[in-house]
Amino acid sequence: MTNGQRIIGLHLGLLVVLFALQFLLPAYHHGNMARIMVLASYAIGYNILFGYTGLLSLGHALFFAAGMYGLSLTIQHAGFTPAPALLAGVIAGIMVSAGLAFLALRTTGVAFMIVTLMFAQAGYLTILYFAEYTRGDEGFVIQAGQRLLWGIDLSDPTNRYFAAFTLFALCLLASLALVRSPFGRTLVAIRENEERVTMLGYNTFAHKLAAMVISGTLSAAAGATYGLLFGYAGASFASVQYSIFPLLWVLLGGAGTVLGPFIGTLFMFYLIDLSSGITTAYMLIAGVTLVLLTLFAPQGLIGELRRRVWRWLP
């Protein structure tokens, strides 16, 4: 078997397992898994910029929220049906990420982190400021009747699982295709040594700009889907916490691996879920586990797997 076949087999295999799980999982985990797949799609978007291009953004909540509000505001105030509203969310993500990329990519390193963080905070405050439309922190519910996509009721758990799965499958396969393409390989090279890439004749600014827009667009698609599937939009999704989450998920799962974002999200979700069943001080358990992981698997779970066993993992 060639490495290419192994890679395709492994990723399609995961999708098959996730598809089959919807028939096997008990209701509670079924709901969790739908949520994990949407959040993992967000992490996949984040990973394109952080894991593959080497740009650490602290402002991705802005893109997630752009998608979520692009969808929910058009449903709530413009009477959109879900399909065009989803599109509105994605377009909002493209515009916001392109705008921020033009400004933030003039900086590098710590300055890039600060600029992205500040713009995301500005976005968060904007949502609070226009509370008349957004209902600020409290947020608003998207009614079940407004969540019929081509006649499919997305408040129904099975439909919701399938919609989350569809989004996740698209993001995973897009990410896989991207990192195996010449463009994706150039991004990795930029991460490793940007000046050398310039001196090979590549326009690194254009590459980073494209990477940031792709990353922002996937994040926005996840945000829009999240709002649509779980029927709620609130300002907390634009807060700094939601910029830190994907960073954490990606680091735990393995930055610069295609499967890492999913594994990291899954791991973190159930770590908190299980530890909160044991004690109210669940963050203590989660914290210790994270410290241990950082000590013994500094490249994340999939990153370690790649380093030790499967060198061919993309």
Partner 1 sequence: MTLLSTRSLSKHFDGLSAVSNLDFDLPKGQVRALIGPNGAGKTTLVSMICGRLAPSSGKVIFEGRDITHLPAHKRVCLGIAYTFQITSVFPRLTARENVALAARRHLPKAKVQPAVEDALKRVGLQDRIDEDAGNLSYGHQRLLETAMGFVQQPRLLILDEPTQGLADNEIDNFKALINDLRKTTTILLIEHNMSVVMELADRVTVLNFGETLAEGTPQEIHENATVQAAYLGTG
Told to check if 201 binds partner 1 by CB under 8 A, we report yes
Told to check if 204 binds partner 1 by CB under 8 A, we report yes
The stretch near partner 1 (CB under 8 A) out of 181-189, 208-216, 244-252, 282-290 is 181-189
Shortest Cβ 185–partner 1 spacing (Å): 7
Told to check if 193 binds partner 1 by CB under 8 A, we report yes
The stretch near partner 1 (CB under 8 A) out of 115-123, 172-180, 199-207, 221-229 is 199-207
Told to check if 294 binds partner 1 by CB under 8 A, we report no
Interface characters, 241-280, with partner 1 (x: CB under 8 A): ----------------------------------------
Which of residues 149, 152, 188, 209 is near partner 1 by CB under 8 A?
Answer: 188
Give residue 100's identity as a one-letter amino acid code: L
Nearer to partner 1 among residue 186 and residue 217 (C-beta): 186
Radius of gyration of the chain (CA): 19
The stretch near partner 1 (CB under 8 A) out of 116-124, 169-177, 187-195, 213-221 is 187-195
Three-state SS annotation for the chain: CCHHHHHHHHHHHHHHHHHHHHHHCCHHHHHHHHHHHHHHHHHHHHHHHHHHCCCCCCCCHHHHHHHHHHHHHHHHHHCCCHHHHHHHHHHHHHHHHHHHHHHHCCCCHHHHHHHHHHHHHHHHHHHHHCHHHHCCCCCEECCHHHCEECCEECCCHHHHHHHHHHHHHHHHHHHHHHHHCHHHHHHHHHHHCHHHHHCCCCCHHHHHHHHHHHHHHHHHHHHHHHHHHHCEECHHHHCCHHHHHHHHHHHHHCCCCCCHHHHHHHHHHHHHHHHHHHCCCHHHHHHHHHHHHHHHCCCCHHHHHHHHCCCCCC
The stretch near partner 1 (CB under 8 A) out of 25-33, 39-47, 98-106, 182-190 is 182-190
Told to check if 53 binds partner 1 by CB under 8 A, we report no
Length of the chain: 314
Told to check if 72 binds partner 1 by CB under 8 A, we report no
Nearer to partner 1 among residue 60 and residue 191 (C-beta): 191
Told to check if 132 binds partner 1 by CB under 8 A, we report no
Nearer to partner 1 among residue 188 and residue 290 (C-beta): 188
Shortest Cβ 190–partner 1 spacing (Å): 10
Nearer to partner 1 among residue 47 and residue 186 (C-beta): 186
Nearest-5° angle of CA 25, CA 302, CA 229?
A: 40
Told to check if 68 binds partner 1 by CB under 8 A, we report no
Told to check if 192 binds partner 1 by CB under 8 A, we report yes
Binding site for partner 1 (CB under 8 A): 182, 185-186, 188-189, 192-193, 195-204
